[in-house]
Structure 1
Amino acid sequence: MLKELSIKNFAIIEELTVEFLNGLTVLTGETGAGKSIIIDAVQLLAGGRGSQEFIRHGAKKAELEGLFTLSYENHPAYEKCEDAGIEIEEGTLILRRDIYDSGKSICRVNGKLVPLSVLRDISSTLIDIHGQHESQELMDDKQHIHLLDQFAGEEIIPIKEQYEKQYEAYKTLKKELAAISVNEQQVAQKIDLYQFQIKEIDACKFQPNEEENLTEERRRLMNFNKIFECSNTAHEAILGESKGLDWIGQAMTQLEDVVLVDESFKEYSDAVSNAFYNLQEAAFGIKNILDDLEFDPERLNEVEHRLALIQSMKRKYGSTLKEILVYRAKIGEELESLLNRDENIQKNEQQLIELRSELLKTASKLTAIRKKVGERLSNAIMQQLCELYMEKAKFSVHFELLSEEQFDHNGIDKIVFYIATNVGEPPKPLTKIASGGELSRVMLALKTIFSTTNGITSIIFDEVDTGVSGRVAQAIAEKIAAISIHSQVLCISHLPQVAAMADHHYHIQKQEDTNRTFTSLTEIFGDERIDEISRIMSGTEVTELTFKHAKELIEIAEDRKKALQV
């Protein structure tokens, strides 16, 4: 859940830090006090589109930071963070985003710099924001199939995994078949090209590490005189008459005589002896190389010509000899496939038919499970809608079979949630609902069902109760409270019924100081809370009767919350 939110230099908020707890937290205040600014800040923290327009006037950057705690070990945020190389200690995640006046945005998760896409991916498992005119995945037709599968739970997982494996194999084979099923002219051109390239590469008879060996040989040939003169001088200095080895030999003999009478010299005597024999062996080795040294101008020309050939081939087929040989192997396989094209096409077509048959069988099983689960979901949602005084509404899960060209990893089903909110009206896609009040209730029904399964840490409702009143307002308040049993809920509301259901109530207000405007957020209790709900109910003037009514509303709400816990 969201434990703490810090905002600095964001819109009219200079600096604000607020702690949140479990249950239902309601934020109320006058229109324009800055309630939506809080939601804007959370949306940006969750990876929403940023702009320097959000930065408070006169500041260089806006700073947003949220502290989240993960309630269970297999929370999806763990996998997301592991993929991004982010460590999570003691189930704690800190999301931070700085927006600069240059338009640049810097994101961090647990102190590690991450791209905006990674911040958005991780936050999608933590925060779910619902506004009056949007409800993200619930209002996106493409997401309905995922929501249905989520509702199905373990029942659908094995068959879906089987389908996904078969689909990948089918897609791969279909792609391979398409690659070889090109027109005859293209095939002939490819065969001619590959045969020419293979012949040209094979004629070179390249050897592994040949370029490195030739480069080293060329270096030796080009420096022949230096190699000969220096090595000959070194040999003479070691083995020449009255040169290095003679003097070291004398030292060795003298030290051996000393050791016979004084053992303390033995270590140094052995060192000189080893040096003598090592130098003697080195001199013999140098002599052997000198005897074999012979300058061959023709060989230098051969090496130069061979290296030039390698460079020419590298420009055509790869940056290294290894890449050239890998390319040779690749086009060799492709040439073999093209030469046996008809046989391969026939073989792959038969295999594709078999794979398609197996895929459709598995897809049909997937569809059957989804239709059964779809009925259960429809019944569950209609029950929720009845409790929200939409007892005439009809909800259904609409299935449409995709064509073979439209198959994807989800199966052969196109699934859209349909609803008819009034008697006599035909069902329409959920996304086509026009009434704000109806949309709010449908969304709350769905959220009530999915709040126990979607694993979201914090759910935020931004004035989703707009356009409703009376008993519907009370029903919405109770639904929001019911959702808060399973997930932390933050709610901005203008309804006294919702505010009365709050476990934690914050009041947002604007203040002016030294010709600047500030937004403050204060948790209210007792009479202050009753005063605020009275204000929501009656406007600016709070009477004794309004105060009494607000107090009674809170008492009723407490009883309703206890009933929800049962």
Structure 2
Amino acid sequence: MLVELSIRNFAIIDHVTVPFEEGLTVLTGETGAGKSIIIDAIGLLIGGRGSVEFVRHGSKRAEIEGLFSLENHDEIEPLLTDIGIGLSDDSMVVIRREISKQGKSICRVNGKLVTLASLRQVGQLLVDIHGQHEHQQLLQVDRHLFLLDRFAGEHLNSAKEEYSTLYSRLLKTKKQYRQLSENEQQTAQRLDLIRYQLNEIESARLRPDEDEELTAEKQKLSNSEQLYQRVHDSHQALYGENQGLEWIMVAVNQMEEATELDPALKEVKETITNCYYLLEESSFTLRDYVENIEFNPERLNDIESRLSEILSLRRKYGENVNAVLEHASKIEEEVETLENKDEHLQKWASDLEAIEKDLAVEARHLTELRRKQAKKLTQDIQRELKALYMEKTRFEVAFHDHESPSFTKDGTDDVEFMVATNQGEPLKPLVKVASGGEISRIILALKTILASHEGVTSLIFDEVDTGVSGRVAQAIAQKIHHISTGSQVLCITHLPQVAAMADSHLFIAKGERDGRVTTEVTPLSEKEKVEEIGRMISGVEMTELTRKHAEELIEQADEMKVAR
């Protein structure tokens, strides 16, 4: 959910910080006070298109920052990880966007600079904005299949996984077939190239880890004189006449006599004795090491020459010998494939035919499951429309059949939401529904059913209640509040019925600061909420009857919340 929003130098807003709560938050105020500007700021924050027109006159840049809580939101964490952003222990994300007066846009997530595309990916999982004329996902036909699948949920998971596995095989096999089907000249050129590479690598007769072994040996040979001197001197310090071991033996002998006088010294005597034998063994090891140190300039030259040859191969084929050998293994397979091109083409053509047959079976199975879920979705939407006094409106998930359906990552289905708002009328695409009031209710019905399946933490309704009144307004108010029980909902409204259902109420008004108009946001108390709803009912003049009506609306709303 959106916890807090800070806006600075944006349109007519000088500086405002808006706290948000769980549940339903309504934003009300006179037309032109800046309600939609706040929604525009949120839209920009989650990746909307920026413009220098958003920068307040006389300011260098517009700044928007939002704090989001991501508890119980599993989808966004992998996305944040992919773009190199870790999630804090308190599951909070801070998104910041700046737009300069030159039009330059800077985006940050948890302080890390990100591209606008990455910001948009994150933002789509955080906030879903639905305006009076632009309903985003629900009016985008290419999103309808996605929404149907989200609604179906686990009923499709197994079938989609099986289809996806086959589809990946199809793409891989098609790519192999296409690459091998290239013209003869390209094939011959490729074959010459990789044969040369393979011959060059095989001629070098590389061994796994050879470069590391040679580097270690080179290090030893390059420092053989220093090694000899250091190890020889160390051995002499231990085993020469009047050197370390001889004096330690004196100490051992003395301690043996001391132990006879005082048995309490036995443990110390044993420690000194053990140290003597350990040091003696180490001195023998040093002696053998000195005797085997190799002074071999010719071997050193050979190693350097070999490492130079290996370095040349590494520059072309891999970061180390093992990577070069792995490259050789791959091109050896490719050589075999190109040399036996016709056989492989025949095999892959056969594979393609078999995969497409299996894929068609899986696609049909997926379609059958989707059609069942589409019927259930239709029934659920019809029920919601009836509750919104649109019982004569028909909703249907249409499956457009094609003579030769093509395979996509989601199957072969072409799905579109269709609506008929009046009895006797044919079904039309949802995007072509004309009436503002009707489409608002249809969108609300869809959101009521789909909100819990879209995985978005915050929903914003920007005057979707336009064009309705009376009992329809009350039904819309109840639906919006119902959606807010599963998602945070922010709603700009002119309907007192919707405002009465709010869990928190923000009043947007124009003010004046330093001789300039600015937008101010004020959280309303219960008493102030009554006054504002009364204003929404009666207009400018507030009467005692209007106040009483506002109080009754709020009481009815509270009763509805408890009943639900």
TM over 0.5: yes
In structure 2, the residue matched to 1:78 is 74
- Residues 478 and 66 from structure 1, CA distance in 2 versus in 1: closer, same or farther, beyond 3 angstroms? farther
CA distance in structure 2 between the partners assigned to 1:245 and 1:387 by the alignment: 100
CA distance in structure 2 between the partners assigned to 1:559 and 1:201 by the alignment: 83
Q: In structure 1, what residue type is equivalent to 2:109?
A: C
Decide whether the 8 Å contact of 2:465 with 2:476 is kept in 1.
no
Q: How does 1:413-492 map to 2 (within 5 A)?
A: 413-420=413-420, 427-433=427-433, 435-451=435-451, 453-454=453-454, 456-466=456-466, 468-470=467-469, 474-487=471-484, 488-492=488-492
Please identify, of 339-348 and 323-332, the stretch whose mean Cα deviation from structure 2 is larger: 339-348
CA distance in structure 2 between the partners assigned to 1:272 and 1:548 by the alignment: 104
In structure 2, the residue matched to 1:512 is 512
In structure 2, the residue matched to 1:185 is 185
In structure 1, the residue matched to 2:138 is 138
In structure 1, the residue matched to 2:173 is 173
Q: Following TM superposition, by how much is the alpha carbon of 1:266 offset from its aligned partner in structure 2, in angstroms?
A: 4.7
Q: Following TM superposition, by how much is the alpha carbon of 1:141 offset from its aligned partner in structure 2, in angstroms?
A: 1.1
- Residues 246 and 481 from structure 1, CA distance in 2 versus in 1: closer, same or farther, beyond 3 angstroms? closer
In structure 2, the residue matched to 1:29 is 29
How big is each residue's C-alpha offset from its partner over 1:161-200, in whole Å with a ceiling of 9 and x where there is no partner? 3323332333333333334333333333333333333333
Please identify, of 207-216 and 12-21, the stretch whose mean Cα deviation from structure 2 is larger: 12-21
Please identify, of 183-192 and 318-327, the stretch whose mean Cα deviation from structure 2 is larger: 183-192
How big is each residue's C-alpha offset from its partner over 1:72-111, in whole Å with a ceiling of 9 and x where there is no partner? xxx5x1343366466687xx75443344576544333xxx
Pairing 1:218–2:218 present: yes
Decide whether the 8 Å contact of 1:84 with 1:118 is kept in 2.
no
Q: How does 1:299-318 map to 2 (within 5 A)?
A: 299-318=299-318
CA distance in structure 1 between the partners assigned to 2:226 and 2:503 by the alignment: 90
CA distance in structure 1 between the partners assigned to 2:45 and 2:359 by the alignment: 42
Decide whether the 8 Å contact of 1:125 with 1:455 is kept in 2.
yes
Q: Following TM superposition, by how much is the alpha carbon of 1:18 offset from its aligned partner in structure 2, in angstroms?
A: 3.9
Q: Following TM superposition, by how much is the alpha carbon of 1:224 offset from its aligned partner in structure 2, in angstroms?
A: 4.2
Q: How does 1:241-390 map to 2 (within 5 A)?
A: 241-263=241-263, 266=266, 269-270=269-270, 272-293=272-293, 295-378=295-378, 381=381
- Report sequence identity in percent: 38
Q: Following TM superposition, by how much is the alpha carbon of 1:413 offset from its aligned partner in structure 2, in angstroms?
A: 1.0
In structure 2, the residue matched to 1:20 is 21
How big is each residue's C-alpha offset from its partner over 1:260-299, in whole Å with a ceiling of 9 and x where there is no partner? 4444655555455445544544444444444445544433
Aligned match for 1:97, one of 85, 95, 98: 95
Decide whether the 8 Å contact of 1:367 with 1:413 is kept in 2.
yes
Decide whether the 8 Å contact of 1:130 with 1:464 is kept in 2.
yes
Decide whether the 8 Å contact of 1:55 with 1:99 is kept in 2.
no
Q: In structure 2, what residue type is equivalent to 1:198?
A: L
CA distance in structure 2 between the partners assigned to 1:129 and 1:411 by the alignment: 29
- Residues 403 and 96 from structure 1, CA distance in 2 versus in 1: closer, same or farther, beyond 3 angstroms? farther
Q: Any idea what SS the aligned residue of 1:461 has?
A: strand
CA distance in structure 2 between the partners assigned to 1:198 and 1:460 by the alignment: 61
- Residues 246 and 365 from structure 1, CA distance in 2 versus in 1: closer, same or farther, beyond 3 angstroms? closer
CA distance in structure 2 between the partners assigned to 1:491 and 1:121 by the alignment: 23
CA distance in structure 2 between the partners assigned to 1:364 and 1:561 by the alignment: 49
How big is each residue's C-alpha offset from its partner over 1:220-261, in whole Å with a ceiling of 9 and x where there is no partner? 444444444555555555544555555554454444444444
Instruction: Return the TM-score normalized by structure 1.
Output: 0.79
Q: Following TM superposition, by how much is the alpha carbon of 1:360 offset from its aligned partner in structure 2, in angstroms?
A: 0.9
CA distance in structure 1 between the partners assigned to 2:445 and 2:44 by the alignment: 27
CA distance in structure 2 between the partners assigned to 1:539 and 1:175 by the alignment: 67
CA distance in structure 1 between the partners assigned to 2:318 and 2:419 by the alignment: 60
CA distance in structure 1 between the partners assigned to 2:526 and 2:230 by the alignment: 95
Please identify, of 335-344 and 377-386, the stretch whose mean Cα deviation from structure 2 is larger: 377-386
Q: Any idea what SS the aligned residue of 2:465 has?
A: coil
Decide whether the 8 Å contact of 2:7 with 2:64 is kept in 1.
yes
How big is each residue's C-alpha offset from its partner over 1:470-514, in whole Å with a ceiling of 9 and x where there is no partner? 55xx41442242231242543212244544555654432223355
In structure 1, the residue matched to 2:207 is 207
Q: Following TM superposition, by how much is the alpha carbon of 1:137 offset from its aligned partner in structure 2, in angstroms?
A: 0.9
In structure 1, the residue matched to 2:162 is 162
Segments of structure 2 that go 5 or more residues without pairing to the other structure are none
How big is each residue's C-alpha offset from its partner over 1:361-413, in whole Å with a ceiling of 9 and x where there is no partner? 22122223333444554565466556666677554433234687842221101
Segments of structure 1 that go 5 or more residues without pairing to the other structure are none
Decide whether the 8 Å contact of 2:447 with 2:483 is kept in 1.
no
- Residues 310 and 548 from structure 1, CA distance in 2 versus in 1: closer, same or farther, beyond 3 angstroms? same
How big is each residue's C-alpha offset from its partner over 1:334-364, in whole Å with a ceiling of 9 and x where there is no partner? 2233344433333332232222112112212
Please identify, of 397-406 and 330-339, the stretch whose mean Cα deviation from structure 2 is larger: 397-406
Instruction: Return the TM-score normalized by structure 2.
Output: 0.80
Decide whether the 8 Å contact of 1:7 with 1:41 is kept in 2.
no
In structure 2, the residue matched to 1:7 is 6
Aligned length: 547
Q: Any idea what SS the aligned residue of 1:207 has?
A: coil
- Residues 314 and 402 from structure 1, CA distance in 2 versus in 1: closer, same or farther, beyond 3 angstroms? farther
Q: In structure 1, what residue type is equivalent to 2:15?
A: E
Aligned match for 1:107, one of 98, 109, 122: 109
- Residues 228 and 266 from structure 1, CA distance in 2 versus in 1: closer, same or farther, beyond 3 angstroms? same
Decide whether the 8 Å contact of 1:402 with 1:413 is kept in 2.
no
In structure 2, the residue matched to 1:411 is 411
Q: In structure 1, what residue type is equivalent to 2:356?
A: R
CA distance in structure 2 between the partners assigned to 1:548 and 1:407 by the alignment: 64
Q: Any idea what SS the aligned residue of 1:520 has?
A: strand
